[in-house]
């Protein structure tokens, strides 16, 4: 019995070490888009090389990134932005695109999420992405590619494509994570099960890369790890050929990290796309070496977020915007 337990412990330790080792050895990972721009390739390579060695910091929204500078003396390396108002029917906002170009030209990295207000909208347009405020059934649109509903989906994607195209012309690579938190089903794109969600994600991917020929994108899929019991993450995973990063929103324990690494058998970088608190520098590099992390530090709802941010940004191994170095090869 003791021998059996000893063997089991060694087996678990070996598997854990293997998963962590695989997650920290990504120099050979190539962008899922075979036609990725030199800038996108350079960004992926940079994050691969930093993983396990440094903390690549991030903050959502430009005013809040400036607040990070005010509180810590350093700008985050990554700026998180949103395409929520990029569609024409929601205003055709271009400000975030301008900010992204400026941020990148100053040496930083940008990532975009998309709180996609559904084509049918909602009484409150600001909540048009929440399933509880929106009866939208996108599976009907996907089932009939000749329908007006399907055309409306394409129109929205095309509007976002226009903004990404502006960034492409300025040689700006972006990390894009459409259909985030789908497993939770609080957004409309998660309400019709994993197969429909994956079909929609692949439509976004193919529309941007094949139809619009946009290749300045690294693709992130937001997964809930098995430890969170929100359905089998493997059932929701779009496939290695459509994903560069598997990212987590607020699930940042060691087991969460290991579950996400296991989801792709260590083939993809794992990052923390949204978090209330900056990770603890004393633990992250050794236990959960996220490729990067992005906080909501100014807006968050506990008394530790500011203190944790200050601690993380004071760590000498934390990468700020002025320290990012991308090596672009034509």
pLDDT tens profile 90-146: 889 999 999 999 999 999 999 999 999 998 766 666 678 999 878 789 999 999 999
Q: What angle do CA 11, 235, 20 make, to 5 degrees?
A: 35
Q: Which residues contact 252 (CB under 8 A, 6 or more apart)?
A: 272, 275, 279, 288, 290
Q: How far, in Å, CA of 233 to CA of 183, rounded?
A: 8
Give the dihedral sign, CA 207/213/214/215.
Answer: positive
Note the pLDDT of residue 13: 34
Residue 252: active-site member = no
Cβ count near 34 (within 10 Å): 9
Residue 181: active-site member = yes
Q: What is the pLDDT of residues 187-220, one digit of tens each?
A: 999 999 999 999 999 999 999 999 999 999 999 9
Whether residue 329 lies inside any domain: the answer is no
Question: Residue 176: what are its φ and ψ, rounded to 5°?
Answer: -115, 130
Whether residue 26 lies inside any domain: the answer is yes
Mean pLDDT of 31-58: 97
| Choice among 39, 181, 262, 315 that is catalytic | 181
Question: Residue 282: what are its φ and ψ, rounded to 5°?
Answer: -75, -15
Question: Could you tell me the CA-to-CA distances from 244 to 22, 68, 139, 177, 186 in Å, in that order?
Answer: 15, 28, 26, 10, 24
Q: Tokens for 296?
A: 């909501």
Q: How far, in Å, CA of 42 to CA of 27, rounded?
A: 11
Mean pLDDT of 55-59: 96
Whether residue 330 lies inside any domain: the answer is no
Are 298 and 67 spatial neighbours (Cβ–Cβ below 8 Å)?
A: yes
> Is the pLDDT score of 245 beyond 80?
yes
Domain count, the chain: 1
Mean pLDDT of 247-270: 95
> Is the pLDDT score of 259 beyond 50?
yes
Whether residue 328 lies inside any domain: the answer is no
**Residue 134 backbone class (left: φ over 0; alpha: ψ -120 to 50; beta: rest):** beta
What are the DSSP calls for 16-45, one per residue?
Answer: HHHHHHHHT--TT---SSTT--HHHHHHHH
CA terminus-to-terminus distance, the chain:
60
Whether residue 17 lies inside any domain: the answer is yes
Whether residue 110 lies inside any domain: the answer is yes
Whether residue 37 lies inside any domain: the answer is yes
Q: How far, in Å, CA of 244 to CA of 301, rounded?
A: 30
Nearest to 250 by CA among 281, 212, 222, 211: 222
Cβ count near 10 (within 10 Å): 10
pTM for the structure as a whole: 0.91
Q: How far, in Å, CA of 274 to CA of 62, rounded?
A: 15
The CATH code of the domain that includes 211 is 3.20.20.80
Whether residue 259 lies inside any domain: the answer is yes
Structural domain boundaries enclosing 22: 2-323
Average pLDDT value over all residues in the chain: 89
Q: Which residue has the higher pLDDT, 21 or 321?
A: 321
| Choice among 39, 252, 262, 274 that is catalytic | 274
């Amino acid at each position: 019995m003791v021998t059996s337990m000893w063997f089991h412990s060694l087996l678990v330790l070996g598997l854990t070490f293997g998963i962590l080792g695989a997650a920290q050895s990504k120099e050979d990972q190539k962008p899922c888009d075979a036609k990725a721009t030199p800038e996108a390739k350079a960004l992926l390579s940079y994050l691969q090389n930093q993983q396990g060695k440094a903390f690549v910091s991030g903050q959502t929204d430009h005013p809040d990134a400036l607040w990070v500078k005010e509180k810590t003396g350093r700008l985050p390396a990554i700026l998180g932005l949103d395409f929520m108002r990029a569609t024409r029917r929601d205003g055709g906002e271009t400000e975030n695109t301008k900010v992204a170009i400026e941020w990148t030209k100053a040496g930083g990295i940008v990532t975009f999420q998309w709180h996609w207000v559904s084509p049918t909208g909602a009484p409150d347009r600001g909540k048009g992405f929440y399933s509880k405020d929106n009866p939208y059934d996108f599976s009907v649109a996907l089932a009939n590619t000749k329908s007006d509903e399907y055309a409306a989906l394409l129109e929205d994607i095309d509007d976002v494509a226009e903004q990404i195209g502006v960034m492409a012309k300025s040689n700006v690579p972006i990390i894009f994570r459409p259909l985030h938190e789908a497993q939770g089903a609080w957004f409309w794109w998660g309400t019709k099960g994993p197969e429909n969600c994956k079909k929609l994600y692949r439509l976004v991917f193919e529309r941007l890369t094949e139809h619009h020929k946009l290749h300045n994108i690294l693709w992130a899929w937001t997964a809930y790890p098995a430890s969170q019991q929100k359905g089998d993450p493997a059932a929701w995973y779009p496939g290695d050929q459509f994903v560069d990063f598997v990212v987590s929103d607020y699930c940042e324990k060691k087991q969460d990290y290991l579950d996400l690494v296991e989801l792709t058998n260590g083939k993809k970088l794992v990052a923390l796309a949204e978090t209330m608190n900056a990770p603890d520098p004393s633990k992250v590099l050794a236990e959960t070496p996220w490729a990067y992390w992005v906080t909501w530090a100014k807006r968050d709802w506990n008394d530790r977020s500011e203190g944790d941010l200050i601690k993380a940004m004071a760590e000498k191994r934390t990468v700020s915007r002025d320290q990012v170095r991308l090596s672009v090869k034509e």
